Amino acid sequence: MNTPTSHDRQRLPISTSLEFLTEVTHTAKPPKSMDQRTVYVSVLALGIGILAAILAQFLQMLIGFITHVAFYGDVGWSLVSPAHHALGPWVIAIPVLGALVIGLMARYGSPAIRGHGIPEAMEQILVNRSRIPLKVLFLKPLSAAISIGTGGPFGAEGPIIASGGALGSVVGQQVRVTADERKALLAAGAAAGMTATFGTPLAAVLLAIELLLFEFRARSFIPVLAACVAAAMMRAGRDGFTPFFPMPALPWPDIGAMLACVPLGLVVGLVAVLITRTLYAVEDGFAKLPLHWMWWPALGAVAVGVVGYLVPRTLGVGYDNITDALAGHLAGKTLWILGTAKLVSWTISLGSGTSGGTLAPLMTVGACLGAGLGYAAEILFPGTGLHPELAALVGMAAIFAGSARTLFMAVLFAMETTWQFSAMLPLLIGCGTAYLVSSLAMRQTIMTEKIVRRGVRVPSDYHSDFFLQEHVGTYAQRPAVSLREDQTLGDVMVWLKSGQPGSLHQGYPVVDAQGQVRGVLTRKDLYLASHPSQTPLRELLGRPAMVIAEEADLRQAIRMMAAANVGRLPVMAGDGSDARLCGMLTRSDVLGAYRHRLMDQYHADEPARQPG
């Protein structure tokens, strides 16, 4: 099956309208980080946040309805656990029937409903200019409701995040916005969906920054923040202000508890790596089956049903399992059985290509693992001060930080969902350790492995733009070798062939009698000119002069070169009528500046020697 690569992306021509070129090429000012467009996109994002909150509520009610009908044979709209059913062994058939419906929807509706949700949104951002088809907006929540409502071991938040992202993308396709602005709307919808589920606006903004926006710019995250605030207010108006995972107040940790979070984070990080590799190994195993992929979810659902029959608490969203693990209501082998069974059920089901998510299952496994290690530490090392409840909280956050490499989102998510702000330092230590282990042990994450296999390059490092920090005047060639507009073509050609200083340059600014730049001519322009040798250079100039101030930044110079498709810019000193030609900046000069940056980044300086 063909998969999209970077070569399949649509090649878009640079606009050559007079307005665009005037803005991009005839100003030495860098683009503003905030402008009226940001306000406009933020207003759109506010509406998307409200709609995403309504969509989240509808999806939760739909999951509740299907759960009531499938497991209890009654009508209800509240989220209930399937664990208390009275179906006996017949419970195995319910996930299989739901998976058969999902397979049909994926084959004859849209294959985009398969998978985790977030990786698919990332792929649309990176490859398809943040365009998600309209039918995904309807099919994704419906398929997810069927999957979870018939016992799938997934949380409601994954499909809600994916559906909110689809909502933002669809809105961004119906109004006139740029691809960057549509990306912000997609991220706003996804983050609003997460906020509407958990009541975690700040963690949702960080999720959008770390997994969807791939940047930290005000014009990107302000719309996301607007959507999250709107969704949080909608949720608060419905449910009030309460923690999503209530647990007893944790004491402020001592030094022993914080130090114990290092080995805890190490173990959880290794488990996160193991889970990621196992999930994709299961996916690879299903891909080798001699069956159409439409039938894979039904095969995976057999495991869901069998595990659910043996350990009923693995069925459905399982938010109560996380709450019980954090509150200390689970202990001993119950923790290990639940965590292991949930992991097996989720890995096989998601690996089969059904419609599901990652956040709640991973949190369940992490909370059970952390609590189990906390109880073990109390027995083996009673002086550490690492309470099982604190260990469960750190484990819940660290497993997501390690598998998805969303460090700050994981820390804030744990604090916002439990209101345990006293756990900030243990969370930072445990999540930071798990993040480090994951970064050293595997190149990709649970979110990026699938799309990287399809040839999509996913950004991983966000840093300030070096070219915004460097001035044009620092790297321009001085002085500029210029030609006069009244010189003839023949005289210039003789000079070019003379080998005199400056005659070997590839381009020259052309100035008038007052020294004002009128344009630029390259050697190619001069050699290919079909004019008589007596032709003055002014008649060879074909475009207005484009100059840049020496105090401008290199990013602006790159924008001007790219927009006008030129390789050099005259550099001016002074302002207005007093501006004078002082140098020339070429593409080679820009590359030379970047070479200095690479040397600073990768070349270690010799230690400074003290005199004497």
**Is it the case that residue 1 has pLDDT exceeding 80?**
no
Beta strands in 272-406 (DSSP E): none
Q: What is the tens place of the pLDDT at every residue in 515-563?
A: 889 999 999 888 888 889 899 999 999 878 889 999 999 999 999 999 8
| Mean pLDDT along residues 161-171 | 92
Helix, coil or strand: residue 450: helix
CA 49 to chain centre: 18
- Using one digit for the tens of pLDDT, what is the confidence trace for 436-475? 999 999 989 999 888 888 888 887 777 777 888 889 999 9
DSSP 233-263: HHHHHHH-S--SS--PPPPPP-HHHHHHHHH
- To 5 degrees, how large is the angle CA 509–CA 515–CA 521? 15
192 pLDDT more than 50? yes
Tens-digit pLDDT profile for residues 267-307: 999 999 999 999 999 999 999 999 999 999 999 999 999 99
In this predicted model, which residue has the larger pLDDT, 2 or 527?
Answer: 527
- Mean per-residue pLDDT of the chain: 88
Three-class DSSP labels, 383-437: CCCCCHHHHHHHHHHHHHHHHHCCHHHHHHHHHHHHCCHHHHHHHHHHHHHHHHH
**223 within 8 A of 184, measured Cβ to Cβ:** yes
Is residue 114 within 8 Å of residue 354, measured between CB atoms?
yes
pLDDT at 607: 65
Contact (CB, 8 A) for 405 and 379? no
| DSSP code per residue over 519-537 | EEEEHHHHHT--S-TT-BG
Q: CA–CA separation, 35 vs 218, rounded Å?
A: 10
The torsion defined by the Cα of 150, 154, 159 and 160, in degrees rounded to 10, comes to: 100
Q: From CA 188, how far away is CA 213, in angstroms rounded? A: 10
Q: Are 148 and 316 in contact (CB under 8 A)?
A: yes
What local confidence, expressed as pLDDT, does residue 284 receive? 94
Q: Are strands 568-573 and 548-549 parallel, antiparallel or unpaired?
A: parallel
Q: Quick check: do 36-239 and 256-453 share a fold?
A: yes
Angstrom distance (rounded) from CA 92 to CA 103: 18
Q: Where are the domains of the chain?
A: 36-239, 256-453, 466-600
Measure Cα distances from 276 to 207, 299, 408, 446 in Å: 19, 21, 20, 5
- Does residue 20 register a pLDDT over 80? no
Residue 8: predicted pLDDT: 42
Taking only Cα atoms into account, the Rg of the chain, rounded to an integer number of angstroms, comes to 30
Q: At what angle do helices 388-404 and 359-380 cross, to 10 degrees?
A: 140
d(CA 571, CA 523): 19
Residues 6+ apart with CB under 8 A from 224: 45, 184, 187, 188, 191, 204, 205, 208, 209, 213
- Per-residue confidence (pLDDT) for residue 10, from 0 to 100: 43
pLDDT of residue 21: 44
pLDDT digits (tens, 9 = 90+) for 106-128: 899 888 788 777 888 888 888 88
- pLDDT value of residue 439: 95
Confidence band of 34 (pLDDT split at 50, 70, 90): low
CA of residue 112 relative to chain centroid, distance: 18
Q: What is the pLDDT, as a whole number, of residue 159?
A: 83
For residue 486, the 8-state DSSP code is T
Sign of CA dihedral 468, 473, 478, 480: positive
- What angle is formed at CA 372 by the lines to CA 371 and CA 374, rounded to 5 degrees? 60
Provide the β-strand partners of residue 549: 572
pLDDT digits (tens, 9 = 90+) for 572-609: 998 777 789 999 999 999 999 888 888 877 766 556 56
The pLDDT tens digits of the residues spanning 315-350 come to 998 899 999 999 999 988 999 999 999 999 999 999
| Domain 256-453, CATH class in plain words | mainly alpha
> What is the spatial distance between Cα 163 and Cα 181, in angstroms, rounded to a whole number?
18
Collapsing DSSP to helix, strand or coil, 77 comes out as coil
Q: Is the pLDDT of residue 426 over 90?
A: yes
Mean pLDDT, residues 192-207 taken together:
95
Top CATH class, 466-600? alpha beta
Percent of the chain with pLDDT over 70: 92
Distances (CA, A) of 167 to 66, 132, 154, 172: 23, 9, 21, 9
Classify domain 36-239 at the CATH superfamily level: Clc chloride channel (1.10.3080.10)
pLDDT tens digits for 203-230? 999 999 998 998 888 889 999 999 999 9
Report helix, strand or coil for 165.
helix
Q: What is the pLDDT of residue 392?
A: 97
Residue 85 contacts by C-beta under 8 Å, 6 or more apart in sequence?
A: 71, 72, 91, 312
Position 420, amino acid: Q
